[in-house]
């Protein structure tokens, strides 16, 4: 199963859908925070983190299988894009996990915006990778 016009497999499609769903849930959480509805904000952010963990587990398997090829072609545009995507994703996901567990990071505006920005960058780079690998 793949999106029409792509050669993506089931795992890549599910990961993309889960990450996009997580991001939209997180956006709804941001709207709750702007309205000072913090309990709703925290619940939505926690759900987004759970989705992010699932997507990470699904795609980390593929990353580890292809790790040698990525390192051997580290200067290629695809490998660099992937490495930046992984770095931004790890920052966003680890920050989200820390917020969800109420550990290590204080829940204030600046750290939350930084984690949101890292998650956004990772999502956009993930979409770019999907397009590069499966739509060309």
pLDDT, tens digit (0-9, with 9 covering 90-100), for 35-49: 999 889 889 989 999
Residues sharing a CB contact under 8 Å with residue 28, sequence separation 6 or more, in sequence order: 44
Judge whether 2 lies within some domain: no
Judge whether 116 lies within some domain: yes
Tens of pLDDT along 110-127?
888 999 999 999 999 988
Judge whether 98 lies within some domain: yes
Distance CA 28, CA 41 (A): 8
* Helix and strand numbers, DSSP H then E, in the chain: 5, 0
Judge whether 3 lies within some domain: no
Say which residue, 54 or 4, is predicted with more confidence.
Answer: 54
Tens of pLDDT along 56-111?
888 777 777 777 776 777 777 777 888 888 899 989 998 888 988 887 777 777 88
Judge whether 127 lies within some domain: yes
Judge whether 43 lies within some domain: yes
> What global pTM score does this model have?
0.81
Judge whether 1 lies within some domain: no
Supply the DSSP symbol for 105.
S
Number of domains composing the chain: 1
Find out whether 8 and 131 touch, Cβ atoms under 8 Å: no
Q: Give the H/E segment covering residue 129.
A: helix 109-134
Judge whether 5 lies within some domain: no
Residue 91 lies in domain: 10-134
Dihedral, CA of residue 45, residue 91, residue 112 and residue 32, to nearest 10: -20
């Amino acid at each position: 199963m793949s999106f029409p016009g792509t050669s993506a497999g089931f795992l890549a499609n599910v990961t993309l859908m889960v990450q996009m769903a997580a991001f939209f849930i997180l956006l709804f959480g941001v709207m709750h925070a702007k309205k000072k509805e913090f309990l709703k904000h925290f619940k939505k952010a926690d759900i987004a983190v759970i989705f992010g963990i699932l997507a990470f587990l699904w795609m980390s398997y593929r990353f580890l299988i292809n790790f040698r090829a990525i390192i051997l072609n580290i200067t290629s545009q695809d490998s660099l894009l992937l490495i930046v995507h992984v770095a931004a994703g790890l920052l966003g996901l680890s920050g989200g996990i820390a917020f969800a567990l109420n550990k290590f990071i204080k829940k204030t505006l600046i750290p939350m915006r930084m984690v949101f920005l890292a998650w956004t960058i990772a999502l956009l780079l993930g979409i770019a990778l999907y397009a590069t690998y499966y739509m060309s």
